[in-house]
Amino acid sequence: KRSLVLSAPGKVILHGEHAVVHGKVALATALDLRTFLRMTPRQDGKISLQLPNLGSQLSWEAAELRPLLAAFSVELPEAQPPSAEQVEKLKEFAGGDYGHEAVQSVAAAAFLYLYLSVASKYGVLPTVDILVWSELPTGAGLGSSAAYSVCLAGALLFGCGAISYPLQEGQETARWTKEELDVINRLAFRGEQVIHGNPSGVDNAVSTWGGALRYISGQISVLKSVPTLRILLTNTKVPRSTKILVAGVKAKLLEFPTIMEPMLATIDAISRECEGILEAMTKDPSQEHYSRLEDLVDINQHLLNGIGVGHALLDRVCQVTSSHGLHSKLTGAGGGGCAITLLRPGTAPSAVEDAIRDLTHCGFECWETVIGAPG
């Protein structure tokens, strides 16, 4: 039997990270770095999961998973979120030698949750080899877990016959229909919940749909007119946990509601203002718009520091790029991970090269990208 290969992109949040968890607007765009999945049917009654980026290789007998099915009977697409108990049980079951909280255990738990959900709904336990590899750094704020969840959701729904094989004779690549992508996105959100606890859903949405999105409380709208923005991405390589950072913001919000609520409302206003500027830019590409975008980047970076998701090395990125006339903010959960730096069409190549040289000198990894890749 033949293999299925599919892929999903990472993402960059322009504005609205963390605030989006509390019902505010986020603007996110797909990134031209992707995660790939290959699913190959196997005949020996086993299911295997290979994650070379995490150095992990796991396999289970279908007969071993069958008893778990009853505990994961999930009605898609309106599935209940995974309970903390289910997640703990799966991490223990999957973790094996890696240990309970290891990233390998969490990734395997997300796989098993999705696998068992789909299997219980469609009554099949597909015996398959699944290999997932990624161009995205893990846990750096670029949506690697969402791209992983989206790839798994697509492959498993296909493996259970819930969605069609989209490739027509003679085509090399294909996309699923809007309805199928919607089911994939909803299932991928469950994977994100296993991994992150209380995510907003913005990451899996942008990874599923691609392009640039406005996201608020589960409502997704595709931004129709987005200028091609050049962005410098810098990975500070400081590891951090989205789950812990999201929980930290919630704790502060509960402790200081009158202080935190206006800050989140201001981040919401920044996202909305940015959306208006991006739209205006597609009609009138004047440089003035860039100054306003840069101001918003600076303001939001300070607010993100204020709500407690900054890091000294993210500040370092801002200082270094600022010394070359460029503006940066953290992207994603913060606390380390990646920063984005806006590049104007008119930014002198030497300024970008100098900034990259200085950032690399600090031990960071940089690469230039454009926003708006396909899903």
Q: Which is nearer to ligand MEV, 98 or 215 (CB)?
A: 215
CB of 47 to ligand MEV, least distance (A): 28
* In contact, 127 and 324? CB cutoff 8 Å: no
Please give the Cα distance from 286 to 20 (Å, whole number).
30
Please give the Cα distance from 354 to 191 (Å, whole number).
40
Got the DSSP string for 204-225?
Answer: HHHHHHBSEEEEETTEEEE-S-
CB of 175 to ligand MEV, least distance (A): 24
Using rule CB under 6 A, residue 332 touches ligand MEV: yes
Using rule CB under 6 A, residue 106 touches ligand MEV: no
- Catalytic, out of 105, 117, 144, 145: 145
Residue 170: how many other CB atoms lie within 10 Å: 5
CB of 69 to ligand MEV, least distance (A): 28
Decide: helix, strand or coil at residue 176.
Answer: coil
For strands 46-51 and 230-235, give the pairing. Answer: unpaired
Q: Please state, in angstroms and as integers, the Cα–Cα distance from residue 114 to each residue in 230, 238, 275, 369, following that order.
A: 35, 29, 34, 31
Residues 288-327, mask of contacts with ligand MEV (x by CB under 6 A) = ----------------------------------------
Binding segment toward ligand MEV, per CB under 6 A, in 59-67, 103-111, 196-204, 267-275: 196-204
Decide: helix, strand or coil at residue 263.
Answer: helix
Using rule CB under 6 A, residue 338 touches ligand MEV: no
| 358 flagged as catalytic | no
Q: Which is nearer to ligand MEV, 33 or 320 (CB)?
A: 33
Q: Which is nearer to ligand MEV, 159 or 197 (CB)?
A: 197
Decide: helix, strand or coil at residue 341.
Answer: strand
Using rule CB under 6 A, residue 202 touches ligand MEV: yes
Residue 166: how many other CB atoms lie within 10 Å: 15
Using rule CB under 6 A, residue 260 touches ligand MEV: no
Region 18-37 residues binding ligand MEV, contact defined as CB under 6 A: 18, 20-21
Q: Do you find a cis peptide bond into 137, omega within 30 degrees of 0? A: no
CB of 17 to ligand MEV, least distance (A): 4
Q: Which is nearer to ligand MEV, 15 or 324 (CB)?
A: 15
Nearest to 38 by CA among 28, 22, 52, 25: 52
Q: Do you find a cis peptide bond into 77, omega within 30 degrees of 0? A: yes
Binding segment toward ligand MEV, per CB under 6 A, in 118-126, 199-207, 256-264, 341-349: 199-207
Please give the Cα distance from 156 to 354 (Å, whole number).
46
Binding-site member from 56, 200, 321, 328 for ligand MEV (CB under 6 A): 200
Q: Which is nearer to ligand MEV, 17 or 275 (CB)?
A: 17
Binding-site member from 6, 17, 233, 275 for ligand MEV (CB under 6 A): 17
* In contact, 282 and 225? CB cutoff 8 Å: yes
Please give the Cα distance from 318 to 247 (Å, whole number).
25
Nearest to 34 by CA among 195, 151, 129, 154: 151
CB of 187 to ligand MEV, least distance (A): 16
| 145 flagged as catalytic | yes
Q: Which is nearer to ligand MEV, 242 or 347 (CB)?
A: 242
Q: Which is nearer to ligand MEV, 16 or 95 (CB)?
A: 16
Q: Which residues pair with 4 in a beta bridge?
A: 39
Binding segment toward ligand MEV, per CB under 6 A, in 12-20, 176-184, 225-233, 359-367: 12-20
Q: Which residues here bind ligand MEV, judged by CB under 6 A? A: 13, 17-18, 20-21, 141, 199-200, 202-203, 242, 246, 332-333
Active site residues: 145, 203
